[in-house]
Amino acid sequence: MPFNTVSISKLLWFKNVRADEEPVDQKKYLEEGCKPKCVKQLRAYEACVKRIEGDESGHKHCTGQYFDYWACIDKC
């Protein structure tokens, strides 16, 4: 079912945004609220970054810890 002006207005109503206004992306605000719940994952990522900061080979990385942190935020 395609969106029409009425259905768009209903979707935007809960944020008090008129249909002719650009909606504000709430994702960054939601993520900020979740970051305190993911401190353990953030600390693991920061510890990894500190451990490998002198690596010149490019083989060491903290991709796993980085994704663990963002997975925690996404789950929240």
19, two tokens: 């249909």
Q: Which residue has the higher pLDDT, 59 or 4?
A: 59
Provide the 10 A C-beta neighbour count for residue 69. Answer: 21
Provide the 10 A C-beta neighbour count for residue 76. Answer: 13
pLDDT for 43-68, tens place per residue? 999 999 999 998 888 789 999 999 99
**CA-to-CA distance for 69 and 46, rounded, in angstroms?**
10
Question: In terms of pTM, does the model score above 0.85?
Answer: no
Residue 17 predicted with pLDDT over 60: no
pLDDT confidence bin for 21, thresholds 50/70/90: confident
pLDDT for 27-44, tens place per residue? 999 999 999 999 999 999
